[in-house]
């Protein structure tokens, strides 16, 4: 595969290609986010990364790259359940609309698209399918989550694989598939402990007294033996509700005992917080979130803030899921 990586972020698609064992070359990676590009270049210094608005790309520019595959993860904010759901009317959809408009003229043989769950019922998805059919592509759509592949994290995402006819998949395309029936070697769920770091200072990640007072009763708490965690969003580390799970090194029994005690204590009482502090409740560190998103051990960040790390990860992909999809994209009848 000669690959053009669009909306390339921190390099999730690149890592997925590496894990898939497919022979590939990333000809160019393009993203408008300078911090994301910095992380990408830090991990892949030999890859050409362009800080460029994708709306400025032309048919001739893409065709002159001599690529046969586009991997992309366009902005998901227009389609998220917590967003305004402005869909194609959202200004952040303009770049993807521009790509779809160019698609019939591009010399592309393979496409892999990732987006948030909810994209499948959008007007944008309707336009995507319309343009794929107009451009003579066969395609298969999926809704998949890492926990289906043995990763203890829930992150349902929409995926679309497309091949230029007359090429065909090794399976018969059909309706949106939410199963793993087309994939091989699915692992059983691993415990959270396999994704934790043992040699980092965890003190900065402990929940503050303010957070404990206000949000203790709604925390989604994971243990070392847990085989699940909630989806991590770009607001993780700044907000609590709906942004991802919290970790404790204590047992379920110890947590239950503390929570039974605080039921009888007013949250403004000093004892309330002191009891909760015994549990060492903390955020997952950015590198641990990266591990849960299947980034490999050799992935690392340059010198940027934790806030920036969480934001970039929240906008990224699960490497394991995409690597399995790339394998599927690379099989033929």
Catalytic residues: 76
Total residue count of the chain as it appears in this document: 333
Among candidate residues 284, 288, 290, the one with its CA nearest the CA of residue 237: 284
50: left (phi over 0), alpha (psi -120 to 50) or beta: beta
CA 19 to CA 326: how far, in whole Å?
9
Q: Which residues contact 144 (CB under 8 A, 6 or more apart)?
A: 156, 157, 159, 178, 180, 321, 325
Give 209-246 as a DSSP string. HHHHHHHGGG--EE-TT-S--PPP-TTBTTB-TTS--E
CA end-to-end span of the chain: 17
Residues 296-324, buried b or exposed e (16+ Cβ, 10 A)?
Answer: eeebebeeeebebbbbbbbbbbbbbbbbb
181, 325, 164, 88: CA torsion to nearest 10: 100
In which order are the strands placed within the sheet that holds 25-31?
49-51, 25-31, 2-6, 69-72, 110-116, 157-164, 137-144
CA 44 to CA 28: how far, in whole Å?
12
What the block records as the tokens of 274 is 């002191």
CB 56 within 8 A of CB 329: no
Three-state SS for 216?
Answer: helix
Task: Give the bridge partners for 222, in sequence order.
Answer: 247
């Amino acid at each position: 595969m000669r690959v053009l990586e669009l909306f390339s972020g921190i390099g999730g698609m690149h890592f997925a290609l590496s894990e898939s064992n497919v022979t590939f070359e990333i000809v160019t990676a393009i993203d408008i986010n300078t911090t994301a590009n910095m992380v990408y270049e830090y991990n892949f210094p030999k890859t050409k990364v362009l800080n460029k608005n994708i709306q400025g790309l032309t048919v001739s520019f893409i065709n002159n790259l001599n690529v046969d595959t586009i991997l992309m993860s366009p902005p998901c904010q227009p389609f998220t359940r917590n967003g305004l759901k402005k869909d194609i009317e959202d200004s952040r959809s303009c770049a993807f609309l521009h790509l779809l408009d160019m698609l019939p003229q591009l010399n592309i043989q393979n496409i892999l698209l990732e987006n948030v769950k909810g994209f499948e019922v959008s007007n944008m998805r309707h336009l995507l399918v319309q343009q794929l059919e107009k451009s003579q592509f066969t395609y298969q759509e999926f809704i998949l989550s890492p926990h289906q592949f043995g990763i203890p994290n829930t992150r349902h995402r929409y995926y679309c694989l497309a091949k230029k006819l007359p090429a065909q998949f090794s399976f018969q395309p059909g309706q949106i598939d939410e199963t793993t029936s087309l994939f091989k070697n699915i692992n059983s769920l691993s415990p959270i402990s396999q994704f934790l770091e043992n040699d980092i200072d965890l003190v900065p990640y402990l929940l503050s007294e303010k957070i404990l007072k206000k949000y203790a009763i709604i925390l989604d708490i994971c243990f070392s033996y847990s085989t699940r965690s909630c989806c991590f969003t770009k607001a993780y580390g700044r907000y609590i509700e709906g942004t991802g799970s919290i970790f404790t090194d204590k047992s379920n029994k110890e947590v239950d005992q503390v929570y039974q005690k605080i039921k009888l204590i007013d949250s403004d009482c000093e004892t309330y917080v002191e009891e909760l502090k015994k549990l060492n409740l903390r955020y997952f560190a950015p590198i641990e979130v990266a591990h849960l998103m299947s980034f490999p051990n050799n992935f690392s960040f340059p010198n940027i803030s934790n806030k920036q790390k969480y934001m970039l990860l929240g906008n990224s992909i699960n490497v394991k899921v995409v690597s399995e999809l790339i394998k599927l994209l690379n099989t033929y009848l």
